[in-house]
Structures are given as structure tokens and as C-alpha cells.
Amino acid sequence: MTRDYWPRFSRPSIIAITAGHILTTGILATTLWLFGLFESNLVASLIIIAAQFTVGGVLIIAIFTLLTKPLKHLLAAITHIANEPTATAPPSPNEKRFAKNGFREILQTLYSLAADRPSEDGTDATGNQQAANARRFIEQALDNTLCGFVTFNSQRAITYSNKATPVRIDANGITSLELLFHETNSLDTWWDECDKTSVHAEKTWARISNKLPNEEDRRFFDIIASYNKGAESEVVLMLVDRTHLYNIGEEELDFIAFAAHELRGPITVIRGYLDVLQDELSAVLQDDQKELFHRLSVSANRLSGYVNNILNTSRYDRRHLRVHLSETTYASIYDTISDDMALRARSQNRLISVNIPNDLPTIAADTASLSEVMSNLIDNAIKYSNEGGAIAVSAGLRGELVEFSVEDHGIGMPANVIGNLFQKFYRSHRSRETVAGTGIGLYISKAIVESHGGTVGVRSEEGVGSTFTISLPTYRSVAAKLESGDNNSVMQKTDSSVWINNHTAFRG
């Protein structure tokens, strides 16, 4: 049995090492005797011999233990794979110490080979030698590609993954994907939806990382998923490594987030002084001077919004974004930004109308975060509207969802832009040329809304205009969940109602 090898190896090794150590001590004693040290100073000689024996023995044992530790781990893993009874827990390749010394790859290879090993006669599970050879050929070819390939059975267990796939293998040999999907747009969420409504389906995710920022060996992937209900490989994933492209933006964002954090204080001071000066000088300012102050305030507030978006995006990517939910209304949240929105619209020669009934059901929301989302949507409507254009801000009840909408009659968007609109840093070619922006406002807005348990959607037609909608559950529908747990936690995404299913609409 595999587990019996260690005693058979360690006992003779320890006996041989002990014998060698005793021999070394004997040589030392003989040397001291030949040089007459025993006769001149017996006590000192005995102390030297005892110290050498004790210290040397401890060092030898420590070195032996250190050098044989990888062998013990390998034996424990092999014993586990062989299904032999043992009280020793198998080593996990996910331990940090194994990642540092390179032992993780050895364990992962061992567990993978064990999971895919053929039968004793070299055939596959069906006894077909030709099929086994073909499978080995395909696996070798896939292992030589830079793309990751993964197959899942209907129980959602990984049945195959090539070397380029970021996976974790636990001590039981179970393989799982090492990818950080967002909770409301994960592989499992999509698979659940496919099981309910589809026979065949496809899905793509962009910019999915395998680790958090600042962790070693962080990579980014564009992922293409195919679903075939009931097939032997029910879901197949292809992972295209885009690290070389996305890393540039991530590194820039890290630097910008640091700079934004430093800019936050001075911007707050500037906004405060502008408000004070406007109040103090209001009696003597001419109309054109008042307009100048208005434009300065708009620019300062917009700059503050950019800073907030950057900082929140950095927090969200690091899983540090938290919302503090409490009972409130869309009307009360909009009141906190109404003056600023009116000022922005007036400074850009836009007309803004607001229709948010005060008697709408309450929602569970973080006022600061949701007001930032409202500001982002209205600011976009202002930027992408035509001169003198009208912007309608409204809210209404739709089943158990309370919706907040921002409608403009501006340039609109083509169908090929809609699907990418909420991706980080995404800006269409036309918008990059004509309108300033960071490309993260809608990304963080979607993240904040989903952290509230809601959804964000958009309908748009090129040359006609766009409508962005936030849908949040009523407070009464989530009150029990909030009262039973920590309201700092991210709420689960609610079941959204029917949405127009065409190429010019998106529901996230």
C-alpha cells in the first residue's frame, strides 16, 4: 500500500543518519583524546562532545524533515488518489506556500492526471482505443493553445479543462473555475436562466479576471459560453486571454484612483468657496457674472462626479463597494441633486422636466450611491442631447418594481453599441470624438444598481434618442430580507419582469 512506503523509507533513513551522527561524535571524541584534551580538561571535553551531539542531532532532524516534506505531501496525495485508508489529509494545491515554492503546479498536474487517467489496458471508459488516442491528440492540441477551454456536465462539474484555463483543484481532486464573475451576471445565474427557458443558448462576458487587483498572476479573459440542454457537455466555455489589452487600462485606473483620492479634498474646497462667494456677492453681481459662477459650479460638480465614479469603480473591482440600505423614495433622493441637475441643464442650454410622484412606494436604497447613479444618467442625457433639447426625468410603479427613467431626444445609439454600453472603459468611436468622458460612469452605475438588488436598462434609436431606466424592488418586498440580515450586504438580484427583447434594448 502507498501509505506504508513512508515508514519503510523513514525508519532506515533515520537509523542511517543516527549511525552517521554517532560515528561523527565518536571521531570528535577520538580526536580530543589523541590531542590530550581529556587529560588536561575532562569536563570541557565532555561538554564539547555533548554539545556537538545535541546541536548536530537537532540540525540533522530539522534538515531531514525539511528535505522530505515534499515527499510526504506527494505520498499523501497519491494515497488519497489511490483511495487507500489514511488519517492524513491530502495536500491542497491552493495553499499559499505551494504557490510560492512552485509545488502547486506539481499537485495540480498529479490530481489532473488522476482524474483523467485511462483504464489499465490503455483504453477509454468505453474500451475504445481509437477514441482514447483521438482524445489524447485533441487534449494535447488544446494544451498548446493560448485560449482556455472548459466543458461542464449537466451537474455543473468540470469534465475537461486545458492548461490555459485558470482553475483550482481541491484536495478531493474537484476542479473549479478560478474566475471572478459579478454576482448578478455570473455563469451560474446564466445557467439557471438557460435551464428554465432555453434548449440552446450562447453568452459572452468581457473583462473577467481570475484574481482581485494587486494579487499575483492576475489575468483578464473574454469568455464565450455555449449551452446545449441535456448534452454530455452541457456547457462549453472558451476563454480568450486579453490580459495584455486590459492590463493597460487597469494600471491606468489604479494610478487615476490614487490621483482622484488626492484631488477629492481640493475639489470640495473649491466647491465650498464658490458657494460662499455666490452667497456673499449675489447682491452686486451682474447677470453675466452670475452665469460665470453657475458655469464654474457646474464644472466643479462634474469634476467631483468624475472623481466619485473613479473611486467607486476602484472599490467595486476590489469587492470593497458597500451600500447602506434604508427606506426612502426616488423623490427624496432626487431632491438632494435637483439644484445641481437644473444648473447643469441650464448651463448647457437643455430643458429638463421632472415628474417623480411623492406617493410612489418606498424603496431600499443608499441615498449617496443612488444619487450618483441619477447624476450619471442625467449628465449623459445632457451631453448627448442636441442644443435646446428636452430631457424628461420620471418615475413610476411597475408591479413590485419602482422605476426611475431619464429620456432624451438626442443623437441616440446604433444597435451594435447597446450590448457593450455598460462595460468598463467602453466608449463608441463617435462618442470618443465628440463628447468628453471616462467610460466608467455607466459601468459603476450598473454596479451600484445591482448592489441594490435592481436592474438598469436602456432603449435607444439612432437619431431619435435614448431612455435609461433604473428598476428597484419596493421596500415592502425586501423588508423581511433586510431585517433578517446585515443591510450592508449586497442584495440578491430580483426577478425582473418582461423587457422588450430586441437589438436596441438592453436589460442588465
pLDDT at 238: 93
Q: Which fold, 322-507? A: Heat Shock Protein 90 (3.30.565)
Q: Residue 222 is inside which H or E element, if any?
A: strand 220-228
Residue 132 predicted with pLDDT over 70: no
Helix ranges (DSSP H) in 82-173: 96-101, 103-116, 129-143
The whole-number average pLDDT for the span 157-184 is 82
Of 304 and 178, more confident: 178
Burial 118-140 (b: 16+ CB within 10 A, else e): eeeeeebeeeeeeebeeeeeeee
Q: What is the pLDDT of residues 240-296, one digit of tens each?
A: 988 888 777 666 666 666 666 666 667 777 777 787 887 778 777 787 787 777 777
Could you tell me the residue ranges of all domains in the chain?
A: 2-81, 96-241, 246-315, 322-507
The whole-number average pLDDT for the span 113-123 is 55
Of 497 and 271, more confident: 271
pLDDT at 237: 94
CA distance 304 to 352: 21
The whole-number average pLDDT for the span 112-136 is 58
Helix ranges (DSSP H) in 102-206: 103-116, 129-143, 187-197
Angle at 470 between CA 192 and CA 294, to 5 degrees: 150
The whole-number average pLDDT for the span 422-431 is 61
Give strand pairing partners of 221: 208, 241
β pairing state of 235-241 and 351-355: unpaired
Residue 324 predicted with pLDDT over 90: no
pLDDT at 436: 53
Residue that is written with C-alpha cell 498529479 in the block: 110
For the 96-241 domain, the top CATH level (class) is alpha beta
Q: What is the pLDDT of residues 63-106, one digit of tens each?
A: 888 888 888 888 877 877 776 777 777 777 777 777 777 777 78
pLDDT at 321: 63
Residue 1 predicted with pLDDT over 80: no
β pairing state of 158-161 and 167-169: unpaired
pLDDT above 90 as % of the chain: 13
- 96-241 and 322-507: identical CATH topology: no
Residue 364 phi, psi (nearest 5): -95, 110
CA distance 237 to 67: 41
Residue 495 predicted with pLDDT over 50: no
pLDDT at 312: 65
471, 336 Cβ separation under 8 angstroms:
no
